[in-house]
């Protein structure tokens, strides 16, 4: 039996539970560069999308969504990826990668570190922490720290 995705996100001191749905998933893809070069060994890229249950964020009720796009791993299997850490150091890099956190709108992340902790019961255990833009329309934009620990179906 496959277990359901679960975990939590703390955003600016507010807690949101992972929403186990078709949109919440850890993705593993063949690396397009390996395919384009017709290499004998096809390595993998990883990404994740995590939807969260509704919760309070200040005076508002929101249902955040975190999107982390593909990172190349140079690995061929999920078991080889345990312990890998990925980092985005600037809002420009996150914008270019199209990594985002939906709070009131989709906004790029300011920075983050994302780590693959392990795999058990057909779930990938990941941790992420960083800084997010929570309101890009305000002047200056509002930001908040975030951290999450999730177990995601793949």
Q: Is the pLDDT of residue 122 over 70?
A: yes
Distance from C-alpha of 6 to C-alpha of 153, rounded to nearest angstrom: 9
Provide the residue range defining the domain that includes 35: 6-153
Q: Band of the pLDDT at 20, cuts 50, 70, 90? A: very high
pLDDT above 90 coverage of the chain, percent = 90
Q: Band of the pLDDT at 38, cuts 50, 70, 90? A: confident
User: Residue 34 is encoded by which pair of tokens?
Assistant: 């390996």
Q: Is the pLDDT of residue 1 over 60?
A: no
Q: Is residue 95 part of a domain?
A: yes
Domain count, the chain: 1
Q: Is the pLDDT of residue 154 over 70?
A: yes
Phi/psi of residue 79, each to 5°? -60, -30
Q: Is residue 1 part of a domain?
A: no
Q: Band of the pLDDT at 3, cuts 50, 70, 90? A: confident
Q: Is residue 126 part of a domain?
A: yes
Residues in the chain: 154
Q: Is residue 39 part of a domain?
A: yes
Q: Is residue 72 part of a domain?
A: yes
User: What residues have CB less than 8 Å from 134, skipping those under 6 apart?
Assistant: 11, 12, 57, 101, 103, 104, 107, 142, 143, 144
Q: Band of the pLDDT at 37, cuts 50, 70, 90? A: confident
What was the pLDDT predicted at 118? 98
């Amino acid at each position: 039996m496959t277990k359901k995705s679960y975990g939590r996100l703390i955003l600016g001191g507010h807690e949101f539970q992972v929403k186990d749905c078709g949109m919440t998933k850890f993705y593993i893809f063949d690396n397009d560069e390996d395919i384009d070069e017709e290499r004998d060994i096809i390595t993998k890229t990883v990404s994740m999308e995590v939807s969260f249950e509704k919760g309070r964020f200040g005076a508002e009720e929101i249902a955040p969504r975190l999107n982390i796009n593909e990172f190349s791993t140079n690995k061929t299997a999920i078991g080889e990826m345990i312990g890998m850490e990925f980092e985005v150091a600037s809002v420009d890099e996150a914008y270019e990668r199209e990594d985002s956190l939906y709070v009131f709108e989709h906004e790029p992340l300011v920075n983050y570190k994302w780590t693959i902790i392990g795999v058990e019961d057909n779930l990938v255990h990941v941790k992420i922490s960083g800084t997010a833009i929570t309101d890009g329309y305000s002047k200056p934009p509002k930001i908040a720290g975030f951290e999450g620990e999730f177990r995601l179906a793949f």
